[in-house]
Amino acid sequence: MTATTDGSTGASLRPLAASASDTDITIPAAAAGVPEAAARATRRATDFLLAKQDAEGWWKGDLETNVTMDAEDLLLRQFLGIQDEETTRAAALFIRGEQREDGTWATFYGGPGELSTTIEAYVALRLAGDSPEAPHMARAAEWIRSRGGIASARVFTRIWLALFGWWKWDDLPELPPELIYFPTWVPLNIYDFGCWARQTIVPLTIVSAKRPVRPAPFPLDELHTDPARPNPPRPLAPVASWDGAFQRIDKALHAYRKVAPRRLRRAAMNSAARWIIERQENDGCWGGIQPPAVYSVIALYLLGYDLEHPVMRAGLESLDRFAVWREDGARMIEACQSPVWDTCLATIALADAGVPEDHPQLVKASDWMLGEQIVRPGDWSVKRPGLPPGGWAFEFHNDNYPDIDDTAEVVLALRRVRHHDPERVEKAIGRGVRWNLGMQSKNGAWGAFDVDNTSAFPNRLPFCDFGEVIDPPSADVTAHVVEMLAVEGLAHDPRTRRGIQWLLDAQEADGSWFGRWGVNYVYGTGSVIPALTAAGLPTSHPAIRRAVRWLESVQNEDGGWGEDLRSYRYVREWSGRGASTASQTGWALMALLAAGERDSKAVERGVAWLAATQREDGSWDEPYFTGTGFPWDFSINYNLYRQVFPLTALGRYVHGEPFAKKSRAADAPAEAAPAEVKGS
């Protein structure tokens, strides 16, 4: 399979300061052909990326997900009575533009139609005035009915419908607000959930307790398989199974609702409200992501906070900042924004591409990242109360939930830059390294936001039928932390060695690694190999040789690499398989280059593919989703991935591995780390 592009080209963009062409990028002596093409592509990509930097020093690409963000934004406005004609028109224009020919909406480019997404999009378009008799609406309704109708939708979709009386609250799982009182040692306390789920569940306990219904502006009979019996009972799982046990617990909670002491329930809702308000960010959002913000606004509104209350006003204003207005007048909602992540990755890419380490734009990026370090405790400190803060978040404002992955990559980015205040940089890096080390889980690996967030119970709740709700350690995050620790001279620290051993143990039988936050095995493998070699494992190590063979075996005929999101569900058929993309080709090349394969045919073909598919303006086209929110359930197209990862790979091909000559891991014998880990 080959990637598709729209064939368009754009005018060459100029950077804010000097272009890459004005810097000291040199091409190593090599035979004519691929090396020269790589160098040209590197220069053009560098110019393009430099030109995309904001005047404040950060980079941010649009973050595309799916139309549930846009549909739920319209539903929220309908619920609060704040809808306006222009916003509704623009949102509907975007939603219509994402509909597939069969009438459905997918959760990723080229993916299959998805029931809950299609239901929410359909309802949003009805709110925008689209007639159910219109051909595009009739196709959608017919498909929805063929898949079981509203009754087969996920819980979150049916909650939105229940807000307007389109579904019965009694037929939804119960979520009592008394959950806020569970101590951390009790199963299913709120800190057993991943931070994104925790921020969503706490306000939803208030919504569940209040069970509000706003008069529906129209019926949705056309979305039921049997309008006379819209809420058919769901079969109970066997009593002896976990699912059966939790279903029966849910029935008991429904019974408890009828006898719950009113004073206790009111106190629990007020405690939940305090928890929500205490976690509102300075920009008015919650956790820097859209879903918790939406549910927090609804919960506080139900408790009597009017729309002019400062908390509510700030919350609603923050939601408007998730909107991306397009040239055609359409309005797309981002689930979150990724400036810290994009900025550290762009800095690494530019530095590895040969931009001087004291280049003004790299220094400006470094300044901005230094100003984003979080120096106050957040929810992570519940499990690590004595650990000093020092991490970085993913978004502009998310001080409660710094990200272990971002922190590792920011440290790696800061090490690429020669800053005018080295003491300030060293202090910031020291805080970041200390915080990352303190967030290591007991198995030796790292999750994204929390420590040992591995309870099996949350995933069993009837309420949690969509996406990941816990944050266990993953290979990609662990790899980035290990790479950062190696660069900081800690390759032989016992904590780093435990991380290395975990990575070796986590390797799949075929030689790849699972990718939790990127698609998928290509991302995991592209993250782990550079980490292992930075930590001192020789390129001849069996784990690295197995990974190289796997990457070579899944390279596409056109020379690139790609992996479809279906690999999360259909591993055998889709692992490492999909149309070639710029970002995934970059990941594969980064792994192969780290494994010492610069002169291999696979690397040559991959580099040639990147050079051949680059646009005239230095960019790449990439409609495919290569980022992961929840494996399979929630996918992301990071619009900057198509720039930073190809440039990083090309830069390392042209200039060599970034720390090959001056790695801090070289302070100790290279063989020391591998000698003390198993897995060979």
Condensed to tens digits (0 to 9), the pLDDT of residues 472-482 reads 999 999 999 99
Percentage with pLDDT > 70 across the chain: 92
Q: Considering the domain boundaries, does residue 25 fall inside one?
A: no
How far is Cα 111 from Cα 87, in angstroms, rounded to an integer?
27
Can you list the alpha helix ranges (DSSP code H) found in 128-210? Answer: 135-146, 155-162, 195-210
Q: Do residues 665 and 629 both lie within one domain?
A: yes
Q: Do residues 280 and 426 both lie within one domain?
A: no
Q: What is the pLDDT of residue 17?
A: 36
Q: Considering the domain boundaries, does residue 644 fall inside one?
A: yes
How far is Cα 224 from Cα 228, in angstroms, rounded to an integer?
9
Tokens of 182: 């569970």
- Inter-axis angle of helices 339-352 and 360-371, to 10 degrees? 150
The active-site residue out of 192, 405, 558, 633 is 405
Q: Is 173 left (phi over 0), alpha (psi -120 to 50) or beta?
A: beta
Domain count, the chain: 2
Q: What is the pLDDT of residue 2?
A: 35
Give phi and psi for 676, each to the nearest 5: -110, 15
Block residue for tokens 């292992």 = 532
Percentage with pLDDT > 90 across the chain: 85
201-260: pLDDT as tens digits: 999 999 999 999 999 999 999 999 988 888 877 777 777 777 778 788 888 888 999 999
Question: Is the confidence at residue 544, as pLDDT, over 60?
Answer: yes
How far is Cα 114 from Cα 569, in angstroms, rounded to an integer?
14
Give the C-alpha distances (Å, rounded to integers) separating 334 from 59, 142, 483. 16, 29, 30
Check if 405 is active-site: yes
Question: Is the confidence at residue 175, as pLDDT, over 60?
Answer: yes
Average pLDDT value for the chain: 91
Show which of 280, 309, 333 is a domain's final residue.
Answer: 333
Question: Is the confidence at residue 674, as pLDDT, over 70?
Answer: no
- Burial class of residue 324 in the structure, from the number of CB atoms within 10 Å of its CB (0-12 exposed, 13-18 middle, 19+ buried): middle
Question: Is the confidence at residue 306, as pLDDT, over 90?
Answer: yes
Q: What is the pLDDT of residue 144?
A: 98
Q: What is the pLDDT of residue 546?
A: 98
Question: Is the confidence at residue 330, as pLDDT, over 70?
Answer: yes
What DSSP string describes 267-334?
Answer: HHHHHHHHHHHHTB-TTS-BTTBHHHHHHHHHHHHHTT--TTSHHHHHHHHHHHTTEEE-TTS-EEE-
How far is Cα 605 from Cα 612, in angstroms, rounded to an integer?
10
Q: What is the mean pLDDT of residues 588-614?
A: 97
Tokens of 289: 């992501």
Question: Is the confidence at residue 668, as pLDDT, over 70?
Answer: no
How far is Cα 289 from Cα 282, in angstroms, rounded to an integer?
13
Question: Is the confidence at residue 678, as pLDDT, over 80?
Answer: no
* DSSP secondary structure letter of residue 354: T
pTM: 0.91
Q: Considering the domain boundaries, does residue 680 fall inside one?
A: no
253-298: pLDDT as tens digits: 889 999 999 999 999 999 999 999 999 999 999 999 998 999 999 9
**pLDDT classification of 462: cutoffs 50, 70, 90:** confident
Show which of 290, 313, 333 is a domain's final residue.
Answer: 333
Q: Do residues 578 and 441 both lie within one domain?
A: yes
Q: Do residues 241 and 360 both lie within one domain?
A: no
Q: What is the pLDDT of residue 4?
A: 35
Q: Average the pLDDT over each of 21-35, 110-124, 387-401, 632-646 and give the range with the smallest value.
A: 21-35
Greater model confidence, 132 or 671: 132
Q: Considering the domain boundaries, does residue 462 fall inside one?
A: no
The CATH number of residue 350's host domain is 1.50.10.20
Question: Is the confidence at residue 1, as pLDDT, over 80?
Answer: no
Q: Considering the domain boundaries, does residue 118 fall inside one?
A: yes
Tokens of 385: 């109360």
How far is Cα 613 from Cα 611, in angstroms, rounded to an integer?
6
Q: Considering the domain boundaries, does residue 9 fall inside one?
A: no
Q: What is the pLDDT of residue 57?
A: 98
**pLDDT classification of 550: cutoffs 50, 70, 90:** very high
Question: Is the confidence at residue 30, as pLDDT, over 80?
Answer: no
**pLDDT classification of 90: cutoffs 50, 70, 90:** very high
Which amino acid does the sequence have at 664?
A: R
Q: What is the pLDDT of residue 660?
A: 57
Which domain, by its residues, includes 665?
43-61+338-454+471-675
Whether residue 603 contacts residue 653, with contact meaning beta carbons closer than 8 Å, is answered with yes
How far is Cα 643 from Cα 263, in angstroms, rounded to an integer?
56
Q: What is the pLDDT of residue 305?
A: 97
Q: Do residues 348 and 307 both lie within one domain?
A: no
Q: Do residues 444 and 301 both lie within one domain?
A: no
Q: Do residues 273 and 321 both lie within one domain?
A: yes
Show which of 333, 365, 395 is a domain's final residue.
Answer: 333
Q: Considering the domain boundaries, does residue 154 fall inside one?
A: yes
Greater model confidence, 460 or 630: 630
| Residue whose C-alpha is closest to residue 537's, from 671, 658, 668 | 671
516-530: pLDDT as tens digits: 999 999 999 999 999
Q: Do residues 554 and 582 both lie within one domain?
A: yes
Q: Average the pLDDT over each of 49-58, 85-94, 660-669 and give the range with the smallest value.
A: 660-669
Q: Do residues 327 and 292 both lie within one domain?
A: yes
What DSSP string describes 624-654?
Answer: S--EEEETTTEEEEETTHHHHHHHHHHHHHH
Torsion sign across C-alpha atoms 3, 6, 9, 14: negative
Q: Considering the domain boundaries, does residue 24 fall inside one?
A: no
Q: What is the pLDDT of residue 326?
A: 94
How far is Cα 462 from Cα 246, in angstroms, rounded to an integer?
7
How far is Cα 535 from Cα 669, in angstroms, rounded to an integer?
11
Question: Is the confidence at residue 91, as pLDDT, over 80?
Answer: yes
Q: Average the pLDDT over each of 52-61, 65-74, 460-469, 647-656 and give the range with the smallest value.
A: 460-469
Q: What is the pLDDT of residue 514?
A: 97
Give the C-alpha distances (Å, rounded to integers) separating 252 from 207, 507, 608. 19, 42, 62
Q: Do residues 57 and 185 both lie within one domain?
A: no
* DSSP secondary structure letter of residue 128: T
Block residue for tokens 């019974």 = 255
132-154: pLDDT as tens digits: 999 999 999 999 999 999 999 99
How far is Cα 191 from Cα 185, in angstroms, rounded to an integer?
9
Q: Do residues 179 and 267 both lie within one domain?
A: yes
Q: Do residues 273 and 420 both lie within one domain?
A: no
